[in-house]
Chain A
Amino acid sequence: MRLLGIIMVMAGWAITVSGLFISSHNLGRAIIACVGIGVSVIGILGVLNSYYLARAIWKK
């Protein structure tokens, strides 16, 4: 689960950087960058945080 989260977080950055090569227009690059940021945020809050939340001290 944690590895999946890390992969997602890094994949978000890879998407953003790949946008620099995929598109030559600022709008296209901006949209791809936003998608990349979104993927990273989901990886952090949706995957990694869920892993730790499931084991939170207040749930024991």
Chain B
Amino acid sequence: MKLIKIKAQLLLAILGVGMALCFAAPLKARAATLTDQDVVSGISGPKTDDIAAKGDPGADLTGTVNDVTMADSKKGLTLADLANQAGQNKIAINFVWTLVTGFLVMFMQAGFAILETGLIRAKNANHTMMMNFMVYGLGLFAYYVCGFAIQMGGCAPIANLGGTYSLNHEHVLNLFGKPWGLFGTKGFFLHGATYDVGVMVLFLFQMVFMDTTTTIVTGGCAERWKYSAFCVSTIGLGAVIYPLFGNWAWGGGWLSQLGANFGLGHGYCDFAGSGVVHAVGGITACAVAMMLGPRIGKFNRDGSPNAIPGHDIVLVLLGCFILAFGWFGFNPGSTLGASGNGCLRIGSIAVNTMLAGCTGSFGALLYMWMRYGKPDASMAGNGLLAGLVAITAPSGFVDPLGAAIIGWIAGILVCLSVEFFDRVPKIDDPVGAISVHGVNGLWGVLSVGLFADGRSDYGGSWNGVNGSVKGLFYGDAGQLVAQLVGISTLVGVIFTLSFVWNWIVDVFVGQRCNPKAELAGLDIPEMGALCYPDFQLKTHDYVAAGSSEASSASVLK
């Protein structure tokens, strides 16, 4: 009987302690919670009369609780008002950041335009400038009509831009038990639910990236591309070819899901577009330049190449500087925000960008100096761009030392590549677009799989895989395989799409301009006006001795 009494007392004591804990916890939590009443009574801003009388030279009275928007002024300031204001401030910071960096990328068009024009002969300057000018209009329109929808129409919600929830449908093919995201289907003409502030910011940023791709092709095909063919070719690139790869890499497509579906690291990772933007542009330039054939006078009959120098090195190097400036929009802007989800890495991304450009130009300068005895200006400029192209994909995933090494290798690689394309496949590339953007774009994609240091954290996961991106040197061989699959897709699928599209253009429009027009310079025959009407232009220059005069004559016949 006594034992039962003790057990009952013990049970009551346990129940008592349990109940006390149950009640105490909510009481404690309640005491720590801020209520609307606390907000209304506890916070007050500076008197507006004081500010009106004294001004605010010390910036102590501007930007206070007075500036928080109240949903209901009769009710006064509430906790919901403060929370909404905090959320809107975060998104506002991200909107402004993304838009301003997008504007910087847009200005890169000016850099590309004068860089390419400086690298070609004066007799084609109007033609080259007009190609670079119209990629903006043609590309933008194509991207607005369908390119954006194909690329981003099914992308996952982008938290940094407030969700972009209306871009919610990806066309997925189920093959071999795996989902293969192929293209998005929301956002054609930006109508319906995609008329949304977050979607507009995303559209602007993605559009200027696409424009960069289209402008790369004009450089590789300069001085012999028929203007009408250029127009049709650019529309196809901006409307379908670029957006497809953009979807696979950035829009939630199959390449980005290689990690989730096949256990390959975090899937194909391309932070700002070494592959999506530059390699697509460079590979398309290769397809079209190959189809066009070399400029008259570029090769002698024995196949040896002739150098055809550009007409204005000032334009070339100024263009490089403008591009380097714009790249601070390209890479740091690809966080799509400056607040939340690890976006404060924008500082390290900007430094990586700067370092790789610097070591790229240095590497190219040294290579040319040692090999040819002179520090070549145009190749130093191309080295800078090569470094910037290469760091574009890894900029968000590598440390500064990795960035410097990537840029250095890119600087040397661009020199080797230019020599290779001139001497072995004999593909004439007047500005080095294939080497700068194509080859180094692929190198940038590969370098993610080698140098990503596993210390970036953009919201705890990337491409749906938890943790941060690590390359082979930091212990994840699967990431390298994912990058190789991306390279193979660029070289295999994107080249084929570009080639077939431009083959169709060649059949129906004709890609190459008239040889007579080419020898005379394309400004008058194609554009109807000279770029430099007051200058004496050389029209039959760089035609190699012995063979090429005869060659030109035979072409004219």
Residues of A within 8 A of B (CB): 2, 6, 9-10, 12-14, 16-17, 20-21, 26-27, 29-30, 33-34, 36-37, 40-41, 44-45, 48-49, 52-53, 55-60
Q: Please pick, from B264, B480, B491, B551, the residue contacting A12 in the complex, using a CB distance under 8 A.
A: B491
Question: In whole Å, how far is B553's beta carbon from the nearest beta carbon of chain A?
Answer: 11
Chain A residue at minimum C-beta to C-beta distance from B283: A44
Complex formed: what's the CA distance from A58 to B493 in Å? 30
Q: Is the interface of A mostly helix, strand, loop or mixed?
A: helix
Chain A residue contacts of B503, Cβ below 8 A: 2
Q: Are B293 and A12 in contact (CB under 8 A)?
A: no
Complex formed: what's the CA distance from A34 to B515 in Å? 40
Other A-B pairs beyond A20-B262, A26-B477, 11, CB < 8 Å: A6-B496, A9-B492, A16-B485, A17-B485, A20-B485, A26-B478, A26-B481, A44-B286, A44-B495, A58-B303, A60-B554
Q: Please pick, from A6, A16, A21, the residue contacting B176 in the complex, using a CB distance under 8 A.
A: A21
Q: Please pick, from B286, B426, B484, B548, the residue contacting A30 in the complex, using a CB distance under 8 A.
A: B484
Question: In whole Å, how far is B57's beta carbon from the nearest beta carbon of chain A?
Answer: 63
A26-B478, A53-B426, A57-B296 known; A9 and B487 CB under 8 Å? no
Complex formed: what's the CA distance from A12 to B480 in Å? 18
Q: Is the interface of B mostly helix, strand, loop or mixed?
A: helix
List CB contacts (< 8 Å) of B167-190 with chain A.
Answer: 176
Chain A residue contacts of B262, Cβ below 8 A: 20
Chain B residue contacts of A33, Cβ below 8 A: 481, 484-485, 487-488
Most buried by B among A6, A26, A45, A58: A58
Q: Please pick, from B286, B301, B477, the residue contacting A58 in the complex, using a CB distance under 8 A.
A: B301
A53-B425, A55-B293 known; A37 and B493 CB under 8 Å? no
Residues of B within 8 A of A (CB): 176, 258, 262, 264, 286, 290-291, 293-294, 296-301, 303, 424-427, 477-478, 480-481, 484-485, 487-489, 491-493, 495-496, 499-500, 503, 515, 548, 551, 554-555
Chain B residue contacts of A58, Cβ below 8 A: 294, 296-301, 303, 548, 551
Q: Please pick, from B291, B297, B301, the residue contacting A59 in the complex, using a CB distance under 8 A.
A: B301
Question: In whole Å, how far is A16's beta carbon from the nearest beta carbon of chain B?
Answer: 4
Complex formed: what's the CA distance from A59 to B298 in Å? 12
Chain A residue contacts of B496, Cβ below 8 A: 6, 9-10
Chain B residue contacts of A12, Cβ below 8 A: 488, 491-492
Complex formed: what's the CA distance from A45 to B289 in Å? 12
Chain B residue contacts of A2, Cβ below 8 A: 503
Chain A residue contacts of B493, Cβ below 8 A: 10, 13
Complex formed: what's the CA distance from A14 to B489 in Å? 9
Chain A residue contacts of B515, Cβ below 8 A: 57
Complex formed: what's the CA distance from A55 to B488 in Å? 28
Question: In whole Å, how far is A29's beta carbon from the nearest beta carbon of chain B?
Answer: 5
Q: Are A37 and B487 in contact (CB under 8 A)?
A: yes
A10-B493, A57-B296, A58-B296 known; A37 and B426 CB under 8 Å? no
Question: In whole Å, how far is A8's beta carbon from the nearest beta carbon of chain B?
Answer: 9
Chain A residue contacts of B488, Cβ below 8 A: 12-13, 16-17, 33, 36-37, 40
Question: In whole Å, how far is B492's beta carbon from the nearest beta carbon of chain A?
Answer: 3
Most buried by A among B290, B485, B499: B485
Chain A residue contacts of B480, Cβ below 8 A: 26, 30
